Amino acid sequence: MAYLDNLAVFVRVVELGNLSAAGRDMRISPAVASNRIKELEKHLGVRLFNRTTRQLMPTEHGRVFYDGACKVLETILEAESAVSALSGQPRGSIRVTAPLGLGRRLIASGIPEFRDRYPDIEVRLRLSDHNVDIMKEGIDVAFRLGLLEDSSLRMRGIMDCERVLAAAPSYLARRGEPQTAQDLVSQKHDCLMLRFPGAKEHSWTLRTPDGPQKLDVFGPYDSDDGDVITGWALAGRGIINKPRFEIEPYLRDGRLKIILPQSPPAPVQFAAVYPHKKFQDPKVRLLLDFMADRCQHMIRDILAGKSADETLSREVVQR
């Protein structure tokens, strides 16, 4: 297994371009990662990387070896998946990613229960509102709110989620409540945006009585963390565009108010995306089935006004 471990480290170093990053990803120290690369180079009798102060770049030998190493590791994973399917005892690790808010509310809370059911499956969760490169980061399943744009991935839709525009009463008292979609622009309302390098949210499209209307909204605040934006809205700093289930408790207790109910944003699709090759992996299918069912029930419970404790009690009774 040592040689296979060396191959796995080599592949992650190529993909991440950095020993420290590869070490963190594989839960080993940079020194251990470096030693494994050196063992491979000694075994092969060639240099696999050109080393600079900031990055490791594969040599020509390294690029050729990378292609072969990927095939070897993929074949082993497929063989292990086949054995797991036959034995009925899926095992191994799954790398999962999700947006911060959705991940905290829906995905993270379900992982302990999933592990209780399948103790031989290890789940590694990464939460980020950035669009994580699934292939580069070696992600098995990504839960997302939005459309699938990468044709190299498969998608499993979980549910369509209603979105709303909302603001705190203090903001509306200070700035006035917009009556039409165009008021957002003409009255220069403070619209709170989720933005980060590569983000595509530079405008809002609302479903008005006259049809879809794309608005180049403005705001003095933006963040790469959706929960930060919600916090600003609660503090009366502007208007947010959010899936309703994320802010339903604040709508119910009056800390936020829906505005322009006659011109809401289009619903957003909650889905799981994953590489094509993961479709036949039993442990991935188990996680997809488990999370899809759990998240659907949790979102419906949230929108029905049930507390987290009530939702968890329902799940305990069902088990």
Position with higher pLDDT, 274 vs 312: 274
Residue 191 sits in the same domain as residue 154: no
Distances from the Cα of 182 to the Cα of 179, 187, 199, 212, 306, angstroms: 8, 8, 23, 12, 35
Which pLDDT score is estimated for 196?
A: 61
Which pLDDT score is estimated for 307?
A: 59
Residue 131 sits in the same domain as residue 280: yes
User: What is the per-residue pLDDT across 136-153, written as a single tens digit (0 to 9) for each?
Assistant: 778 889 998 876 665 667
Which pLDDT score is estimated for 276?
A: 73
Residue 146 sits in the same domain as residue 277: yes
Of 61, 85, 109, the position where a domain reaches its end is 85
Residue 79 sits in the same domain as residue 105: no
| Span between the terminal Cα atoms of the chain, in Å | 38
Which pLDDT score is estimated for 183?
A: 94
Range of the domain at 110: 89-159+269-318
Residue 286 sits in the same domain as residue 256: no
Residue 274 sits in the same domain as residue 311: yes
Asked whether residue 187 carries a pLDDT value surpassing 50, the answer given is: yes
Burial grade of 56 (CB within 10 A; 0-12, 13-18, 19 or more): buried
| % of the chain beyond a pLDDT of 90 | 39
Residue 312 confidence class, pLDDT cut points 50, 70, 90: very low
Which pLDDT score is estimated for 151?
A: 60
Q: What is the CATH number of the domain that holds 122?
A: 3.40.190.10
Which pLDDT score is estimated for 73?
A: 79
Residue 132 sits in the same domain as residue 43: no
- Look-up: residue for tokens 């498969």? 154
Query: What is the chain's mean pLDDT, rounded?
Result: 85
- Look-up: residue for tokens 């471990």? 5
**Cβ neighbours of residue 256 under 8 Å, at least 6 residues apart?**
166, 167, 168, 233, 234, 240, 247, 250
Of 266, 286, 302, the position where a domain reaches its end is 266
Residue 177 sits in the same domain as residue 258: yes
Asked whether residue 198 carries a pLDDT value surpassing 90, the answer given is: no
Residue 214 sits in the same domain as residue 247: yes
Task: Report d(CA 35, CA 209) in Å as an integer.
Answer: 64
Residue 261 sits in the same domain as residue 172: yes
User: pTM for the complete prediction?
Assistant: 0.70
Which pLDDT score is estimated for 169?
A: 97
Residue 216 sits in the same domain as residue 281: no
User: What is the per-residue pLDDT across 11-48, written as a single tens digit (0 to 9) for each?
Assistant: 888 888 888 888 887 778 888 888 989 888 888 899 99
Position with higher pLDDT, 16 vs 60: 60
Q: What is the CATH number of the domain that holds 63?
A: 1.10.10.10
Q: What is the CATH number of the domain that holds 184?
A: 3.40.190.290
How many domains, in total, are found in the chain?
3
User: What is the per-residue pLDDT across 236-279, written as a single tens digit (0 to 9) for each?
Assistant: 999 999 999 999 999 999 999 999 999 999 898 899 988 876 66
Of 85, 112, 133, the position where a domain reaches its end is 85
Residue 297 confidence class, pLDDT cut points 50, 70, 90: very high
SS (H, E, C) the chain: CHHHHHHHHHHHHHHHCCHHHHHHHHCCCHHHHHHHHHHHHHHHCCCCEEECCCCEEECHHHHHHHHHHHHHHHHHHHHHHHHHHHHCCCCEEEEEEECHHHHHHHHHHHHHHHHHHCCCEEEEEEECCCCCCHHHHCCCEEEEECCCCCCCEEEEEEEEECEEEEECHHHHHHHCCCCCCCHHHHCCCEECEECCCCCCCCCEEEEECCEEEEECCECCCEECCHHHHHHHHHCCCCEEEEEHHHHHHHHHCCCCEEECCCCCECCEEEEEEEEHHHCCCHHHHHHHHHHHHHHHHHHHHHHCCCCHHHHHHHHHHHC
User: For residue 167, is it left (φ>0), alpha (ψ between -120 and 50) or beta?
Assistant: beta
Distances from the Cα of 70 to the Cα of 13, 15, 33, 133, 313, angstroms: 12, 11, 17, 17, 44
Question: Is residue 66 a contact partner of residue 37, using CB atoms and an 8 Å limit?
Answer: no
User: What is the per-residue pLDDT across 104-131, written as a single tens digit (0 to 9) for each?
Assistant: 889 999 999 999 999 989 999 988 887 7
Which pLDDT score is estimated for 278?
A: 65
Residue 278 sits in the same domain as residue 142: yes
